[in-house]
Amino acid sequence: MSTAPRIDIDVAEFWRDPYPALAAMRRDAPIAFVPQLGSTLLCRRDDIYVCEKKIDVFSSDQPEGLMTKLMGHNMMRKDGEAHLAERKAIFPAVSPKTVKTHWTALFAAHADRIIDALESSGACDLVRDFALPFSAECLKSITGLTNMRFEDMNAWSQDMIDGIANYTGDPAIEARCRAATAGIDSAIDEMTPVLSAWPDSSLLGVMLACGMPMDSVRANIKLAISGGQNEPRDAIAGTVWALLSHPDQLALATAGTIGWLQTFEEYARWISPIGMSPRRIARPWSIGDIEFETDERVFLMFGSGNRDEAYFERADAFDIRRDTSKSIAFGAGPHFCAGAWASRAMVADVALPKLFNRLRDLRLSDEEPVRIGGWAFRGLLNLPVRWG
């Protein structure tokens, strides 16, 4: 392991709220070995921004990593030409042009259908009743797995992200993750002959059309599901919660003074839905007086970098008026999120404006407290709201 200072954490408390511990690390030990996670954490934005680009040392290729073992060898766990080749192959499905000309209208149709069913009720859990099904229906379309139920899309995504964040080695979590990947494989098998005969703009469609090997197709579909469900789901619900908790900023957003995209970007900085990305040390390296050993694991803590006081004044505050250009919510290097444009369209172009335009006087309900959790992936567990 590295020679970084050892910092102990309470894993349960870190899951409930990692930000106090991360702030202490940024201040006292910005590169720290956390034995409870078996990894060295990089917590300052500068270190993350520089090291993520240095793929010859901070490698994404992790043969023994949880994602590779449980989901297959996807493009996120490849570097250099191998990564670039698969990224280019999927680009036609998620390019800014395809998102604008094809997916955004479909996202809007999904949102309208879900809101139509909710509108007359006057109350709901916005995570369960909108953010979850909306994100899943959009992801069904993008992946090409329209044969899945949205409930399965969400459950299997959650089981996979729990599995790849299972650094304490809970066998029950691993079993659920393996069951989820088996379910996704079955859905892929069912849709493969359909999309081979009638290719479309979906991820499965474009990967089959370019002749990508099936093990890579499967791994990359699972990658898309593992991040493509929870990130927009959590960002939608979280941004609504943040705005309803900050009425002055809600007024700026609904009046158009601050755009929905800027509002979403600030939420993703404040509470990064994807808070961490692991790397493998490919060769001996040092940062200052801290030395790293070959094959040890490090975590790039995006959620911490996005609250780095050196870049963000009042970093713990949600403020849609701030400059978010230094945010690293979608990454900072060659592994910058390939689905970023689709995610921005889902959240900023469709979900947020439709929710606030159609559900008049949307407000928090006091029926139960809002719960939030996670550190590798962080999001609201519920969001009781009323309107009308």
Higher pLDDT, 77 or 253: 253
- The amino acid sitting at 83 is H
Q: What is the pLDDT of residue 348?
A: 97
Q: What is the pLDDT of residue 351?
A: 98
Closest CA to 308 of 340, 264, 270: 270
The C-alpha atoms of residue 60 and residue 78 are separated, in whole angstroms, by 6
Q: What is the pLDDT of residue 79?
A: 86
Domain locations along the chain: 11-386
Q: What is the pLDDT of residue 385?
A: 98
- The CB density around residue 310, as the number of other CB atoms within 10 Å, is 12
**How many residues are listed for the chain in this entry?**
388
Please say if the pLDDT value at position 372 is more than 90: yes
DSSP string, 252-264: HHHTTSS-HHHHH
Return the structure tokens found at 376: 């590798």
- Each residue's pLDDT tens digit, 81-109: 998 999 999 999 999 999 999 999 999 99
Lowest mean pLDDT among 3-7, 25-29, 227-231: 227-231
- For 277-294, what is the mean pLDDT? 94
Q: What is the pLDDT of residue 62?
A: 84
- For 231-247, what is the mean pLDDT? 97
Q: What is the pLDDT of residue 367?
A: 86
Alpha carbon of 161 to those of 9, 71, 180, 375: distances in Å?
Answer: 21, 10, 10, 12
Q: Residue-wise over 99-127: b if at least 16 C-beta within 10 A, else e?
A: beebbbeebbebbeebbeebeeeeebbbb
The C-alpha atoms of residue 46 and residue 117 are separated, in whole angstroms, by 46
Mean pLDDT of all residues belonging to the chain: 95
- Each residue's pLDDT tens digit, 33-83: 999 999 999 999 999 999 999 999 999 988 888 889 989 998 888 888 998
The C-alpha atoms of residue 58 and residue 295 are separated, in whole angstroms, by 10
- For 371-377, what is the mean pLDDT? 95
Highest mean pLDDT among 68-77, 155-164, 235-244: 235-244
- Each residue's pLDDT tens digit, 112-150: 999 999 999 999 999 999 999 999 999 999 999 999 999
Please say if the pLDDT value at position 335 is more than 90: no
Q: What is the pLDDT of residue 339?
A: 86
- Each residue's pLDDT tens digit, 178-234: 999 999 999 999 999 999 999 999 999 999 999 999 999 999 999 999 888 989 999
| CATH number listed for the domain at residues 11-386 | 1.10.630.10
Please say if the pLDDT value at position 152 is more than 80: yes
The C-alpha atoms of residue 100 and residue 234 are separated, in whole angstroms, by 22
Percent of the chain with pLDDT over 70: 100
Please say if the pLDDT value at position 333 is more than 80: no
Rounded to 5, what percent of the chain is helix, strand, coil? 55, 10, 35
Please say if the pLDDT value at position 166 is more than 90: no
Please say if the pLDDT value at position 164 is more than 80: yes
